[in-house]
Copies of this chain bind each other. A is one copy, B any other.
Amino acid sequence: MNISEAARRSGLSAKTIRYYEDIDLIAPAARGQNGYRQYDHKAVEELHFLARAREVGFDLLECRQLLDLQRDSSRQSRHARQLVLEKSQQLQTRIEQLVAMQNVLHSMADRCKGDEGPACAILEDLAGATEGEGDA
Closest to A78 in B: B114
Q: Which of B81, B106, B115 contacts A88 (CB 8 A)?
A: B106
Q: Write out, one digit per residue, whether chain A residues 51-69 have a CB within 8 A of any chain B CB (1) or not (0).
A: 0110111000000001001
Please tell me if A84 contacts chain B, counting CB pairs below 8 Å. Answer: yes
Which residues of chain B are within 8 angstroms of A119 by Cβ–Cβ distance? 77
Please tell me if A43 contacts chain B, counting CB pairs below 8 Å. Answer: no
Please tell me if A80 contacts chain B, counting CB pairs below 8 Å. Answer: yes
Task: State the interface size on chain A (CB cutoff 8 A).
Answer: 56
Q: Are A75 and B118 in contact (CB under 8 A)?
A: yes
Least CB distance, A90 to chain B, in whole angstroms: 10
Please tell me if A27 contacts chain B, counting CB pairs below 8 Å. Answer: no
Please tell me if A33 contacts chain B, counting CB pairs below 8 Å. Answer: no
Least CB distance, A83 to chain B, in whole angstroms: 8
Please tell me if A76 contacts chain B, counting CB pairs below 8 Å. Answer: yes
Which residues of chain B are within 8 angstroms of A85 by Cβ–Cβ distance? 109
Q: What are 13 A-to-B residue pairs whose CB atoms are below 8 Å?
A: A52-B125, A57-B98, A73-B118, A75-B120, A76-B117, A76-B118, A80-B114, A80-B123, A81-B112, A81-B113, A91-B105, A92-B102, A95-B98
